[in-house]
Amino acid sequence: MIKLYHVGSGVKKGVYEGGAARNIVLYKYFKKNKYKLIEITENRILNICKVFSVLFFLKNSKIVLQYPFLGVPVKIKIIRDIYLLLLKRASMRNKIFFDLNDLPYEQAIDLELKIRKYFLEIEKVIFNINAKFSFASYAMRDYICKKYEVSIENTIVCENGGNRLNNQINISKYLKFIKKDKLNIVYAGTLNKGRQIENILKIVINNKEVNLILMGTLGEWINKEIQKSNIIYLGALEEELAHKIVSFCDIGLIPYDQDRFYYNIAFPVKLSFYITAGITFLSTEVVEVLSINKKYNFGYTEKIENWDKFFTKITKDELDIKKEKINKCKKNFYWENIFKKINF
């Protein structure tokens, strides 16, 4: 019998989005399915011992690893070198399965972040060992298969999902921010400048028919710079609370820069976050959202320069039709149903 192991991060309360959300849900999934959990904590030395022991000692087992989360501080060269050496060895003695939610090297180049070249070194090893891979989007899978000549038979696409709405959450103190006589639009995600948040604010700031609700980390600057009654920043809220507030809104926003390569290979977690909350979305014309909307036709895609006109023309009746479509198929975007596609 093949023993099943998962290296991942334990469940903690807080705000989760992007790769962090996927990592947490995978942890819960494997715990429920009785995998042996190699839990990564805040103790770096203990983590290194755990991960290195798994890769060195295990034999005839199935080991599920996550990327770019690997459980050890790979920016330290000697630890990275040992990790990659042990990974190669483990791949010859076990079945290795990588779940990929991000490509940090490509992301850094395209989004003008600090480039960590060691991730390129890690990628070259990961995609050239005997392993199978789960990707968060089709575009990301196709890019890696082409770049590293990975056989598509060794891959599967498992998009980012969302949780079921928790109707037990009390949001009574937040309902005052929902204006029934206005178009309630919401953005849930990281809010640092440079993510086209400024463009959204410019579009909305003088539109008296639109009520914009923002929630997420790094948005403190908004309340300092913007004092408008139709722009509300609620701060970084716990996921279930934010999800419930979103369910009372009309449209969820995805303002990805469609001219940047990375945003066109990523599958936005906030897309499924809005869908599983039961509301439609307005996104820029990025590849993965276009693909999903072509299949279901329950959202809207427009260049961000056209969003102002969109907000003027859209009606509540039309939005209700979209919500009906979403409620019929949102179960397809629940995390537990998405992970059923993967034969770990």
Q: Are residues 19 and 153 in the same domain?
A: yes
Please report whether residue 98 resides in a domain: yes
Residue 342 resides in a domain: no
Same domain? For 182 and 291 the reply is yes
Q: Answer yes or no: do 86 and 129 share one domain.
A: yes
Q: Kindly state the average pLDDT of the residues 316-338.
A: 94
153 & 294 share domain: no
Last residue of a domain, one of 120, 136, 158: 158
The pair phi, psi for residue 63, each rounded to 5°, is: -120, 120
Q: Which pLDDT score is estimated for 107?
A: 85
Across 22-31, 69-78, 148-157, 180-189, least confident range: 22-31
163 in a structural domain: no
CB 243 within 8 A of CB 168: no
pLDDT score recorded for residue 1: 38
Residues 213 and 288 in one domain: yes
Q: Kindly indicate the confidence band of residue 17, based on its pLDDT and cuts at 50, 70 and 90.
A: low
Asked if 165 and 247 touch (Cβ cutoff 8 Å), the reply is: yes
pLDDT higher than 50, residue 15: no
- Whether residue 92 sits in one domain with residue 184: no
For residue 343, tell me if it sits in a domain: no
Report how far residue 305's alpha carbon sits from residue 263's, in angstroms, rounded to the nearest whole number: 17
| Of the residues 100, 132, 158, the one at which a domain ends | 158
Instruction: Annotate 11-62 with three-state secondary structure.
Output: CCCCCCCHHHHHHHHHHHHHHHCCCEEEEECCCHHHHHHHHHHHHHHCCCEE
Q: Are residues 237 and 297 in the same domain?
A: yes
In this predicted structure, the answer to whether residue 146 has a pLDDT above a threshold of 80 is yes
Confirm whether 26 is domain-assigned. Answer: yes
> Is 89 found in the same domain as 191?
no
Does the pLDDT value for residue 19 go beyond 70? no
In whole angstroms, give the CA distance from residue 129 to residue 124.
Answer: 9
336 within domain boundaries: no
Residue 150 predicted with pLDDT over 60:
yes
Pair (177, 134) in one structural domain? no
Torsion angle of alpha carbons 208, 214, 220, 221, nearest 10°?
-40
- Does any domain span residue 65? yes
| Least-confidence region, from 23-27, 91-95, 177-181, 317-321 | 23-27
CATH number of the domain within which 110 lies: 3.40.50
Domain count, the chain: 2
Q: Which domain holds residue 233?
A: 172-331
Q: Are residues 25 and 79 in the same domain?
A: yes
Supply the CATH number for residue 277's domain. 3.40.50.2000
Residue carrying structure tokens 């494997």: 30
In this predicted structure, the answer to whether residue 294 has a pLDDT above a threshold of 50 is: yes
Query: At which of 106, 126, 158 does a domain end?
Result: 158
Specify whether 176 is located in the same domain as 325.
yes
Instruction: Give the separation between CA 243 and CA 342, rounded to whole angstroms.
Output: 26
Q: Given pLDDT bands bounded at 50, 70 and 90, which one contains residue 24?
A: confident
Domain co-membership, 117 together with 214: no
Q: Above 80 in pLDDT, residue 331?
A: yes
What does the alpha-carbon distance between residue 192 and residue 197 come to, in Å, rounded to a whole number? 8
Mean pLDDT, rounded, of the chain: 90
Task: Give the lowest-confidence range in 29-43, 208-222, 283-297.
Answer: 29-43
* 339, part of any domain: no
Q: How far is CA 134 from the centre of its chain?
A: 14
Is the per-residue pLDDT at 323 higher than 80? yes
